[in-house]
């Protein structure tokens, strides 16, 4: 029996690797001879670097870069086991978790540090990059990112604009004469799970700005600034992408990547599963066990467990999801290829208790699941 264990992290409680190890422990208590293949996954957000580097036996690197408001931060990125693919999470340099709630300021926050991480990738001579863009604190259209790689954004007087999205309202010209030429040869895959355009009622500022601390007035100001940015940059690079699906991702970093690089935006879990060669692992499996911190109606919209289920369905392998908790609409995943969903807690408990005992709860839930499967396998007439 071959069982593939491919969970996402239980955010705030257990990493994807920790979940996979706990599930394996529970499986082996019942099916001691089973071959258990651990392939922790992610959807392009938190945990993507850890999942990909760990599963491919790559290496982690840490660099000091500029944080969202310019302070130095230690950002972890990685090189996959193939020795040619880098993986970064923009949130490690430009993410919301790096700022206390009272310091969040999308008018000034910059993606400059993310660009510095890309420069580190280029310095390492790597030809391929996977970039997760979830969890941004920024709304600068990727201007900071590309500035770190040599671009200059100028006002009508030829002065360099300060960092942040608000300043883009004064953008008059873009100077790309010093853009790092190595960028043109870098293959970039962007793990992007939103299809918002750069501007408008469904754009970066209106939809995601409030999460980053933008007041309604600030969101309008940022939207107007990004509209000006989109028009000026489109003329400079001769690309019309402001309305492209995903241009509004990560405060418009999606637009910056599409404007200035040859990046391709794809669903995050698809990129991760491809990098893990998930198809090879699942093609000969009897069962896949996936999981996440909470399953609800949002899971059906392409989150990691559903991505795992769709990949497994190509080989007719059933998928069961072990979740930290279940919310409204969790049954929607049944139409997406997941055979069953189970909540891990074994008794009523608070959220904090559940998180504190996360590994034990996951392991016990996996054991209970396997005992049910074993009983079903020996039931007469089943």
pLDDT digit string, tens, across residues 153-170? 999 999 999 999 999 999
Q: Is residue 302 over pLDDT 90?
A: no
| CATH H superfamily, domain 48-268 | Glycerate kinase, domain 2 (3.90.1510.10)
Tens digits of residue pLDDT in 108-161: 999 999 999 999 999 999 999 999 998 899 999 999 999 999 999 999 999 999
Question: Could you give the CA distance from residue 289 to residue 114 in angstroms, rounded to a whole number?
Answer: 34
Question: Could you give the CA distance from residue 93 to residue 110 in angstroms, rounded to a whole number?
Answer: 10
CATH, range 2-41+280-378: 3.40.50.10350
The pLDDT score that the predictor gives to residue 382 is 58
Q: Is residue 102 over pLDDT 80?
A: yes
Give φ, ψ of 97 to 5 degrees: -65, -15
Chain position carrying tokens 């390492």: 124
Tens digits of residue pLDDT in 211-221: 999 999 999 99
Q: In what order do the strands lie in the sheet with 340-343?
A: 35-38, 2-5, 287-292, 319-323, 340-343
The pLDDT score that the predictor gives to residue 381 is 64
Give the global pTM. Answer: 0.85
DSSP single-letter state for residue 183: G
The pLDDT score that the predictor gives to residue 13 is 80
The pLDDT score that the predictor gives to residue 329 is 92
> Band of the pLDDT at 105, cuts 50, 70, 90?
very high
Q: Is residue 22 over pLDDT 70?
A: yes
Residues recorded for the chain = 382
Could you tell me the sign of the dihedral formed by the alpha carbons of 256, 259, 262, 267, in that order? positive
Question: Could you give the CA distance from residue 250 to residue 142 in angstroms, rounded to a whole number?
Answer: 8
Tens digits of residue pLDDT in 159-212: 999 999 999 999 999 999 999 999 999 999 999 888 899 999 999 999 999 999
**Average per-residue pLDDT in the chain?**
93
The pLDDT score that the predictor gives to residue 237 is 96
74-97 average pLDDT score: 96
Q: Where are the domains of the chain?
A: 2-41+280-378, 48-268
| Other CB atoms within 10 Å distance of the CB of residue 30 | 16
Beta-carbon contacts of 278 under 8 Å, excluding residues fewer than 6 positions away, are: 4, 6, 39, 41, 308, 311
CA dist 279 → 69, 273, 287 (Å): 41, 8, 13
Question: Could you give the CA distance from residue 364 to residue 161 in angstroms, rounded to a whole number?
Answer: 56
> Band of the pLDDT at 357, cuts 50, 70, 90?
confident
- Of 358 and 318, the structure prediction assigns the larger pLDDT to 318
Question: Pick from 195, 198, 189: which is nearest to 44 by CA?
Answer: 189
């Amino acid at each position: 029996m071959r069982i593939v264990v491919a969970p996402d992290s239980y955010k705030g409680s257990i990493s994807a690797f920790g979940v996979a190890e706990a599930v394996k422990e529970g499986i082996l208590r019942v099916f001691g001879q089973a071959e258990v293949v651990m392939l922790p996954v992610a959807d392009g957000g938190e945990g993507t670097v850890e999942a990909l580097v760990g599963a491919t036996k790559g290496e982690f690197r840490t660099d000091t870069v500029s944080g969202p408001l310019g302070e130095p931060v230690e950002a972890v990125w990685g090189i996959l086991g193939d020795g040619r693919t880098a993986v970064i999470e923009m949130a490690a340099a430009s993410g919301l978790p790096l700022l206390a709630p009272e310091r969040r300021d999308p008018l000034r926050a910059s993606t400059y540090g993310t660009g510095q991480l890309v420069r580190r990738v280029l310095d390492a001579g790597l030809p391929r990059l996977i970039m997760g863009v979830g969890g941004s604190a920024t709304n600068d259209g990727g201007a900071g990112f590309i500035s770190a790689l040599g671009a200059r954004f100028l006002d009508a007087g030829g002065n360099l604009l300060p960092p942040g999205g608000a300043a883009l309202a004064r953008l008059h010209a873009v100077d790309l004469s010093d853009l790092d030429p190595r960028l043109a040869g870098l293959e970039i895959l962007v793990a992007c799970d939103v299809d918002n355009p750069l501007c408008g009622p469904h754009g970066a500022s209106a939809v995601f700005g409030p999460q980053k601390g933008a007041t309604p007035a600030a969101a309008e100001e940022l939207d107007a600034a990004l509209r000006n940015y989109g028009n000026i940059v489109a003329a400079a690079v001769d690309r019309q992408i402001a309305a492209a699906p995903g241009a509004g991702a990560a405060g418009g970093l999606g637009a910056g990547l599409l404007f200035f690089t040859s990046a391709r935006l794809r669903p995050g879990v698809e990129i991760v599963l491809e990098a893990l060669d998930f198809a090879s692992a699942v093609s000969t499996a009897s069962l896949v066990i996936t999981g996440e911190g909470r399953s609800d109606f949002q899971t059906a919209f392409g989150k990691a467990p559903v991505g795992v289920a769709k990949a497994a369905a190509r080989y007719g392998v059933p998928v069961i999801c072990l979740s930290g908790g279940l919310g409204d609409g969790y049954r929607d995943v049944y139409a997406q290829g997941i055979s069953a969903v189970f909540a891990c807690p074994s008794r009523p408990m608070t959220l904090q208790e559940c998180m504190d005992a996360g590994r034990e709860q996951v392991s016990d839930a996996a054991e209970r699941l396997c005992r049910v499967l074993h009983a079903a396998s020996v039931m007469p007439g089943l």
